[in-house]
Structure 1
Amino acid sequence: MIRKHRHLFLALAIAAIIIAGTIFYNEYQASRYYNRTSANWSLIVPAVTAEDHTIGDMEAPIQVIVYSDFNCGYCRRFFSETLTRLSSAFGDHIVVAYRHLIILGGEDARQKAESTECAYQSGGDEAFWKFKDEMFAAENFQKSIGPSRLRDIAVDSGADRVLYEQCIADGRGKERIERDQMQASIAGLTQTPGIVLKSKYRALIIRGDYPAQIATGIAYLLRMQSEIERSNAQGQHTSMVQ
């Protein structure tokens, strides 16, 4: 009987170690990335606003900010596969924002990015996301696309032809791209996709499309936010009682 209990205790102890190790590993995987308090982080990577191209509820507790290049294969995979999995797992707990970081495609990728911004200026976010989908859907998506074809894609996505052409001629699509590039540079993002996970209290950077690590980071931030807010609520309750 003593031996039986000893074996049971050993099995439970091993299980506890495995569970604790898993929790520690997940915490480590999230916290090992570049962390800052949100107060400092907002100076580096601004929070998502109505000016961003977004998918999801702007009031979501976790912001997933994606710095992307239209000639980047892993960016394509993020938006076609990883984002679907994250949306399924976290639902309205996340809002996703697209920002530009042109690294791989050079001038060709820059022209594509400017075209999406000019499509947005007359067609809104719906035109932007349709244009983005068209860019990544093509089998040879890294191939150079001429100005007339980019214009046709923009119009098909919902942009006004005349306003789009004026935007391109005036270079109005460049301002947002340059702003996004500057933010990414200051944050030390040198590859795409550059993923910034941001809550009210903490932010994490993940350099690349690593679905498991992104999901772990989101779960980590959600848990941290819940614990902080619960602690704050308990502190307020204690103060009221005293």
Structure 2
Amino acid sequence: MNSLRRGMMMAGWVMACCLALFPSVSGAKDESGQAETRMRGQANAPVTLIEYSDFTCGYCLKFFRETWPRIQARYVDTGKVKFLYRDYPRADQGPGLDAALAARCAGGQGKYWAMHDRLFAEGGRIDQAVILRHAAAVGLTQATFERCLKEKSHVASIFEDREEANRWGFHGTPGFILMRTAGGPTEKEPAVAIPGAFPFEMFAEEIDRLLASAPHSRGGTERESLGRPVRSVERSRPLVRDPHVP
């Protein structure tokens, strides 16, 4: 058992409400038809990593800059991990919600990740001018994009992502769920809740452990897994998370 593992304190089981209380959604599509757009990696990768995040969150930016590139190179680009991005705007209005909406609207034109990455690169300094500048830079049809922003048709789906995070037990950003893709969490192999911007080494340890026992997946049961067993990863020292979130 390495020093990082010794420095962790594994919390007890977290049992959410019964699975029947939650919608049975395959994870391949949501009501906006964009869940596939917000996925990186192969749909049948043996392990799934879900991030719940806000474009204006400082520690979400820390994960994006420092930890995500290493996860992507070692696990996502090699077909071992499927990465799903979920929105968690910390406020009901303002730049976090505006950025999430902009990324969804860009996704409607096949540019979700281009917009996602540019918005995070702003370091939280997001306003309408920044959004429109990035829309032009990634080659969006401006009239279509601005109409999408005005109609706000993705807002309900954005807040559904936040509610999903709450059901996993997250009430701040960032939050991550790791689980086997095939079959979802079980009592023997629960989902792993990571409540904060932990270092790459911790993600790697948990991913490698899941890979060692994960069967080949056909994909697509992330939201159906709500309500199944979750193991929360914590450390004896304070979690690395956004101090502005209660």
TM-score, shorter chain, exceeding 0.5:
yes
| Pairing partner for 1:220 from 209, 225, 229 | 209
Write the distance in 1 (CA, Å) between the matches of 2:62 and 2:20: 27
- Alignment partner, residue 55 of structure 2: 70
Write the distance in 1 (CA, Å) between the matches of 2:80 and 2:164: 24
Write the distance in 2 (CA, Å) between the matches of 1:92 and 1:42: 32
| Pairing partner for 2:103 from 116, 122, 127 | 116
| Pairing partner for 2:194 from 186, 206, 217 | 206
Q: Do structure 1's residue 150 and structure 2's residue 135 form an aligned pair?
A: no
Rate the CA distance shift 1:99–1:81 in 2: closer, same or farther, 3 A: same
Structure 1 residue ranges (4+ consecutive) displaced by more than 3 angstroms after TM superposition: 25-37, 39-48
Residues 75-86 of structure 1 aligned to structure 2 (within 5 Å): 75-86=60-71
Check whether the contact 2:47–2:214 (CA below 8 A) recurs between aligned residues: no
- Alignment partner, residue 158 of structure 2: 177
Q: Do structure 1's residue 134 and structure 2's residue 121 form an aligned pair?
A: no
Rate the CA distance shift 1:105–1:133 in 2: closer, same or farther, 3 A: farther
Write the distance in 1 (CA, Å) between the matches of 2:101 and 2:155: 6
Write the distance in 2 (CA, Å) between the matches of 1:62 and 1:42: 25
Rate the CA distance shift 1:192–1:208 in 2: closer, same or farther, 3 A: same
Write the letter of the residue equivalent to 2:28: T
Rate the CA distance shift 1:82–1:73 in 2: closer, same or farther, 3 A: same
Write the distance in 1 (CA, Å) between the matches of 2:136 and 2:208: 39
Q: Do structure 1's residue 49 and structure 2's residue 28 form an aligned pair?
A: yes
Check whether the contact 2:53–2:85 (CA below 8 A) recurs between aligned residues: yes
Structure 2's unaligned 5+ residue stretches are: 186-190, 216-246
Check whether the contact 1:30–1:213 (CA below 8 A) recurs between aligned residues: no
Deviation at 1:26, TM superposition (A): 4.5
- Residue identity over aligned pairs, in percent, reads 23
Check whether the contact 1:33–1:205 (CA below 8 A) recurs between aligned residues: no
Structure number with the higher helix fraction is: 1
What root-mean-square deviation, in Å, do the aligned CA atoms of Structure 1 and Structure 2 show?
3.3
Structure 1's unaligned 5+ residue stretches are: 1-20, 227-242
Write the letter of the residue equivalent to 1:89: R
Check whether the contact 1:30–1:217 (CA below 8 A) recurs between aligned residues: no
Equivalent position SS for 1:158: coil
Aligned length in residues: 198
